[in-house]
Amino acid sequence: MTASTLSTPRDSVKTWRRFKYPQSLIKYGIMLIILVFIAISIQYLNIHLERVLTMFGRLGNLFANRYYPPDIPYILDSEYLGYVFETVKMAYLGALFGILLAIPLSWFASFNMTPNKRFLYPVARFLLMVCRAVHEMIWTILLVTILGFGMLPGVIALSLFSLGFTGKLFSEEIEAINQGQVEAIQATGANPLKVFVYAVLPQVRVAWTGISIYTWDAAFRAATVVGFFGAGGMGWYLRRTVQQVESNRVAAILISIVGLVIISEVASAWARNKVSTS
Amino acid sequence: MMPSTLEHKLAKILTKRKKYKAIRYGLYIFIFLLVLGSIQTTIIKDTDWEKIGTFGTVVKALARFFPPDFSLFPHLVKPTIETFMIACLGTFLALVLAIPVSWFAAHNITPYKSITYPIGRAIMTLSRSVHEIVWGLIFVAAVGLGAFPGILAVAMRSIGFISKLTAEAIEDINPGQMEAIRATGANGFQVILYAVIPQILPVFVGNTIFQWDINIRRATIMGLVGAGGLGLTFHRQLVMYNYGGVTTVIIALLLLIAIGEVGSYYIRKAII
């Protein structure tokens, strides 16, 4: 008996596999499903795969012949720079309003701290979800149809965008706080507002500051294009030049957008770093 | 001697604190004034208040969107599926393209540090800094109308995010495993396959699912620049002044996004 078990060591020298029999089947099954889904989608969306190959030539052509000498003097024009300044202002106003609205809403929408689980919690959750689910461009278009052209719909659209963006992150931070401090403040007989101010806010302050800076960055990115649908700022120039097929100017505007976004990103990374270390 | 220095120190700290407090409040006041100034110039002066009219006219403008035009629903099925597929294919393409980009942009495994690292970083920044609408415009100009430019635009926008977080994860991996695999005589490719990928796979998959969720949102607007899906229907209803239809499209869009959110939650739970 023992001899036979010792004499058959070959069973145990099987090649090692990360996934044993049933799991490996599931893995390949999922891969197959994904591939079939991709094939069906390509068929359904009517994509001509042969066009994929010619795409690079056409993209190269687009950049080399139509976009290439970007009309740099156009973006250095004082009128355009004025609109850039407006865009910056729109972005930070939108981010600021969004963050200010997100403070109470994220408090209501955090499961552990919400003052009223029956009513306020679902309502706040739903509001945040709608703000986040509807893309900022759709907000812009809707607000432009209601309020007309100008900066106001842009600022409101960016506020809603920032509200959805920060609300979720803020409430996630609240849900991760240390309950001990909350209990300590509650034990003094404090009402929910006081608990929020003295037990929750000090714990999330640093994280929220970082998120707020990041929100400003994200709002600025969105602000560069809300004007495309008539809500003020440099996006309006983009629309005008795209529609008049002034490709050199489009290229110049794109360069200005990329440059500004990179500047804002570097600034926000620096500021976030400063906040988290201090 | 001892207490006097202590008092001295204490006084120093207190004056310092006072100074900081003054600076902080000064900063608050400055920011407050700045915000007020911006509100004055951008919102109050720039807006055409006469055109907006009274609160009543705004409510009237809002009321046009109700009730939703439910007769549109049967026509929304195809664009909704299209939007969903644009998001899925875009995410898949981004995932495939993010692999080389994150390989290039991770400081510790990039093949030729002086050439590939800046290339990877540049692609990452470019992809993230250009809004999806702009990518859509570029690709519609290059490959024509249809779902294809939408897929490309969605993919281009998410490459940056996926590869940024993946590259950061690669930079944080345990180098011991890489050394162990290299010590067996493995080449560079094998080191990545057996030492790097297993360590970053959860992060990579998690980020991809997160991006998929966001990409459904992005895919809904690709139609606005001519790239198929629900955005196209939205645009058509809007230019036909069928505001009830616009509301219906938004309802369809919310449903799609809710499905995506629930789906991504369960997939993430199943994997991690």
**Helical spans, DSSP H, in A8-119:** 21-44, 49-61, 72-75, 78-108
**Distance (Å, whole) CA A224 – CA A83:** 10
State percent of chain A over pLDDT 90. 4
| CB of A30 less than 8 A from some CB of B | no
Question: Does the CB of B190 have a partner CB in chain A at under 8 Å?
Answer: no
CA dist., res. B246 & res. A147, Å (int)? 16
What Cα–Cα distance (Å) separates residue B225 from each residue in A54, A213, B158? 22, 30, 18
How far apart are alpha carbons B93 and B91 in whole angstroms?
5
CA–CA distance, A129 with A142 (Å, rounded to integer) = 18
The pLDDT of residue B185 is above 70 = yes
Do the interacting molecules here have an ipTM over 0.85?
A: no
Residues A153/A231, Cβ–Cβ less than 8 Å:
yes
Residue A48's closest chain B neighbor by CA?
B148
- The predicted pLDDT at position A12 comes to 54
Q: pLDDT tier at B124 (50, 70, 90 boundaries)?
A: confident
C-alpha distances out from residue A157 to A80, A98, B39, B52, B217, Å: 22, 10, 15, 16, 15
Q: A37 in contact with B at a CB cutoff of 8 Å?
A: yes
- Interface check A163 vs B, CB under 8 A: no
Instruction: Report pLDDT for B50.
Output: 67
Neighboring chain B residues of A31 at a CB cutoff of 8 Å:
none
Q: Is B39 on the interface with A (CB under 8 A)?
A: yes
The token pair that represents B136 in the structure block? 């859509």
Return the CA Rg of chain B.
27
| pLDDT score for A4 | 47
Checking if the pLDDT of B2 tops 60, the result is no
Position B3 scores a pLDDT of 59
Tell which of B148, B215, B217 to mutate to test the A interface (max A CBs under 10 Å). B148
Q: A267 at the B interface (CB within 8 A)?
A: no
- E strand or H helix at B167, and its extent? helix B147-171
Rounded to a whole number, what is the distance in angstroms from the first to the last CA of chain B? 63
Boundaries of every domain in chain A: 20-67, 72-277
Q: Quick one: pLDDT at residue A160? A: 92
How far is residue B108 from each of residues B46, B119, B156, B178, B205, measured CA to CA in Å?
51, 15, 25, 11, 21
For residues B179-193, b (16+ Cβ closer than 10 Å) or e, as one string?
Answer: eebeeeebeeeebbe
Cβ-nearest to A150 among B48, B131, B133: B48
Q: Which whole number is the average pLDDT over A8-17?
A: 58
Cα dist from A197 to A77, A202, B200, whole Å: 48, 8, 39
**One-letter amino acid identity for A124?**
A
Q: Using a CB–CB cutoff of 8 Å, tell me whether A152 touches chain B.
A: yes
Tokens of B91: 């995410």
Average pLDDT over residues A26-51: 83
In terms of residues, how long is chain B? 272
Dist CA A102 CA A83 (whole Å): 28
SS (H, E, C) A202-249: HHHHHHHHHHHHHHHHHHHHHHHHHHHHCCCCCHHHHHHHHHCCCHHH
Whether residues B134 and A238 touch (CB distance < 8 A) is answered with yes
**Both tokens of residue A147?**
């309020």
Tell whether B47 is within 8 A of chain A (Cβ): yes
Residue A60 corresponds to which tokens in the numbers above?
């190269």
Q: Does A258 touch chain B (CB under 8 A)?
A: yes
Q: Residue A8 pLDDT more than 80? A: no
Instruction: Please tell me the distance in Å from B45's CA to the nearest CA on chain A.
Output: 10
**Distance between CA atoms of residues B250 and A7, nearest Å:** 71
**CATH superfamily membership of B70-271:** MetI-like (1.10.3720.10)
Determine whether the interchain pair B134/A147 forms a contact, defined as Cβ–Cβ distance below 8 Å: no
pLDDT of residue A98: 92
Residue whose C-alpha is closest to residue B153's, from B99, B211, B98, B94 = B94
- Beta-carbon pairs below 8 A across chains A and B: 143
Count Cβ atoms below 10 Å from residue A60 Cβ, excluding itself. 11
Position A128, amino acid? L
Whether the CB-CB separation of A67 and A247 falls below 8 Å is answered with yes
For residue range A139-172, list pLDDT tens digits in order.
888 888 888 777 888 888 999 999 988 988 888 8
Give the gap in angstroms from C-alpha A195 to the nearest C-alpha of chain B: 25
Q: What whole-number distance in Å separates Cα of residue B227 and Cα of residue A239?
A: 16
Q: Which CATH number is A72-277 given?
A: 1.10.3720.10
Residue A1: pLDDT band with limits 50, 70, 90: very low
What is the pLDDT averaged over residues B179-198?
A: 85
The answer to whether A146 faces chain B, any CB pair under 8 Å, is yes
Q: Which residues of A touch B217 (CB under 8 A)?
A: 132-133, 135
Out of B126, B137, B250, the one facing A134 most closely (by C-beta) is B250
CB B224 within 8 A of CB A226: no
Which of A33, A36, A38, A45 is the mutation pick for testing B, counting most B CBs within 10 A? A45
SS3 content of chain A, % helix, strand, coil (to 5): 80, 0, 20
What per-residue confidence (pLDDT) applies to B272? 66
Amino acid A162: pLDDT: 92
